Chain A
Amino acid sequence: MSESAEPHTGDPIGEHVTEHAGEHRDYVGAKLGMWIFVFTELILFGGLFVAYGMYRSMHPHEFHHASGELNVTLGVINTLILLTSSLTMVLSIVAIRLQRKGQSIAFLAATMVLGCAFLVNKFFEWSAKIHHGLYPGSEHLMARPPGERLFFGLYYGMTGLHGLHVTVGVVVMSIMMALLVRDKIRHDDFIKLENTGLYWHLVDIIWIFLLPLFYLAA
């Protein structure tokens, strides 16, 4: 966007555009597209953050109280898992750039395992809550004040949508894995893997906000 208003006389087709056997390849363009997609995801979650902000300002004490019932240990463990997975994701991209295919595959596999570990953790956390009767619409929850009902409604809605994004991320990574193995992602053509990394960091960053808003609010 830096070039927007003024007429630029330079060549808009940057140095990163290449033609391979009639196939148009634009590294910067592909990344630009992915960044725009990442923004749309942030805005998607933004709607939920607005709802959270509004209801928390209406019911500060009830949010505070309900937050105390979440398992901070599990939340922190999941944070560490996701942060580590972002590291392994980056390492996988670095490895393929250095033409170390085996390493790249190994790091990508590690990222997938960590993503799954996050989901397993989440599963146990959710099932414990549901077991205690804490789920939207439950009798136990409806007996509580409105602020706490909303807190748990938002908790399930936001961590649920985040969990869905983690799941999609793992699926996308398995596709990248297949492309890596079949040499469709190479040291000179790794934009798909890099864009997957961008997406994964987005998932990571959203969690970084969810952790304090839900687990540490008490």
Chain B
Amino acid sequence: MSTAPAADAAVSPASEPSFYGGSSRAGIASWLLTTDHKRIGILYLVAMVTFFMVGVTIGALMRIEHLTMGPTIMKATTYNAMFTVHGVIMIFLFVIPGLPAVFGNFLLPIMIGAKDVAFPRLNLLSWYLYMSGAAIAVGALFTGGGPPDTGWTFYVPYSVKTGTNVTMAVFGAFVLGFASILTGLNFITTIHRMRAKGMSWMRMPLFPWSLYATAWVQVLATPILGITLLLVILERVFHLGIFDPAIGGDPILYQHLFWTYSHPAVYIMILPAMGAISEIIPTFAHRTIFGYKAIVFSSMAIAGLGSLVWAHHMFTSGMSEFAIVVFSLLTFLVSIPSAIKVFNWVATLYKGSVELRPPMLFALAFIFLFSIGGLTGLFQGALAVNVHVHDTYFIVGHFHYVMFGGTGFAFFAALHYWYPKMFGRMYNERTAIVAFVHLFVGFNMLYFTFLVLGLEGMPRRYYDHLPQFHSGHIHATIGSWILVAGLLIMFANLLRGLFRKAEVPANPWGGVTLEWTVPSPPPVENFDVLPVITEPPYTFNHPAKEPAA
């Protein structure tokens, strides 16, 4: 992307100090009271990686429970609490805020040529709401009637009847939703109002585009979750009766309201991941993205269609035949824009000079794993198959292929891609590849086995299993160990990179979006002079823009 000469000049090492040093406050206050979008992004990153590792630990413990038949290391009730907490932490604290909160915050203003987001103080408030929601949700584990055991979906009537601390956990999720709405609102306003001169909508890079689509889903869907969770609290405290059949209410209404949010929420999780992949693929193929407009419109189409498919979670819950068929059809339709993206990424690689460096490996793994996740999703959209695989490990496998193989791997890809920009240092690329191989092998050993176990009939959320599933469970558990090893190697490598001496140049990968025109790490105000955009994004044919050898 061509920019004003001033933006190019900012690359010279003599420019102003990076945002790590340029704060008027000192020490911890410079972080906790910051309104700098880059610092807030780093704050989110630290919190999220921490929660992620807690979630991973719980997941690994659940796998160990399945190493032998009968109780291995925990009781059935503990297992119930474990899968609930694993779900709540991973979904509400990691995958939903994931890419927008970390990379969106850090990069969105830079990528559209702005100095900050539209509402910097609101941005900091979002982080505090996120941390408060997280504290409340985690606090629910140790107070009241003990950790909730309803599953992350909080289905009524059990969530109203159980003596565990559902009220507090649900309130935590409510606060987290508020943080999500405010971030979405902030990003929409930022993208509408603060794009650099000359950056028309069709000159905006694809990661900001995906954040834009995501932000609309966040803003339009999250309030439904808010009111649903609020009603669960009112139901538990005041016996309002909306969902309670004993009073006259209908539990199915809860499922409808819950999935009206929670299905669009999976697009909140995956759309920014797709955006990050759309940035990484062209950079490492050294070639402009194939079908820029198709990717833009498919993002918006996913955001729209994704809001109309919620009841496919409820095919076995009780609905009219007609409604089931309509929701099945809509579910198949939403796969079209997703497939468009996959084809565009693959087409971008065609005749590109592909460089297999760590971010690219993660991105390619994303395409592979997301495709498996998406295709297994179609199985479940088919009505007859759905009845067979409902509530089995097949669902768990599918979900992890999309959320972990998709969003998780995209998060790692983005982390490895923008790490030099965020920290001004470089990790060891060889170690990163070792970690990647562990992750890829462990992941497939674990979750592909889940798909097979599910088709054979292994039900989800059971703390024990029958003998015919035993070898499969052992296989999956060993896979989980390889996966955890990969995670440990990866995070250790990234941490160690921070303490390396060598600084990295502004553009280590040869990327062409705006963030590569500013120093690594960027200065406080991002740009000395705001850039002026004169060309579409992903224009690779400038000799001057080619990476230094």
Contact = CB atoms under 8 A, between A and B. Distances in A.
Contacts, number: 132
A190 to B, nearest CB: 17
Interface string B214-234: 000001101110111011001
Interface string B154-174: 000000000000000000000
A137 B186 CA distance: 41
A186 to B, nearest CB: 20
A32 interface: yes
The range of chain A's interface size is 35 or more
A28 to B, nearest CB: 7
A17 B193 contact: yes
A4 B184 CA distance: 17
A140 to B, nearest CB: 13
Contacts of B189: 29, 32-33, 36
For B118, B195, B220, B241, the residue with the greatest tally of chain A CB atoms inside 10 Å of its CB is: B241
Interface in B237-277: 238-242, 247-250, 253, 257
A51 B253 CA distance: 8
A154 interface: yes
B343 interface: no
A3 interface: yes
The range of chain B's interface size is 35 or more
B197 interface: yes
Contacts of B116: 24
A47 B118 contact: no
B247 A47 contact: no
A33 B219 contact: no
Contacts of A45: 227
A39 B239 contact: no
A47 B232 CA distance: 13
Interface in A125-147: 136-137, 142, 145-147
A157 B118 contact: no
Given A50-B257, A136-B239, A26 B201 contact: no
A36 B248 contact: no
Given A33-B118, A44-B223, A47-B228, A8 B193 contact: no
Nearest to A52: B242
B241 A149 contact: yes
A41 B241 contact: no
Given A33-B189, A136-B239, A153-B249, A13 B219 contact: no
A161 interface: yes
A28 B193 contact: yes
For B194, B203, B248, the residue with the greatest tally of chain A CB atoms inside 10 Å of its CB is: B248
A150 B118 contact: no
8 contacts: A9-B200, A13-B194, A17-B193, A32-B189, A55-B242, A136-B240, A150-B241, A157-B234
Interface of B: 115-116, 118-119, 122, 181, 184-186, 188-189, 192-195, 197, 199-203, 219-220, 222-224, 226-228, 230-231, 234, 238-242, 247-250, 253, 257
The 3 closest A-B pairs by CB, nearest first: A146-B248, A47-B227, A137-B239
Given A12-B194, A145-B248, A149-B247, 19 more contacts: A7-B202, A8-B200, A9-B200, A12-B195, A13-B195, A26-B118, A29-B118, A29-B192, A32-B189, A32-B193, A33-B119, A37-B181, A40-B181, A43-B224, A44-B224, A45-B227, A154-B240, A157-B234, A157-B240
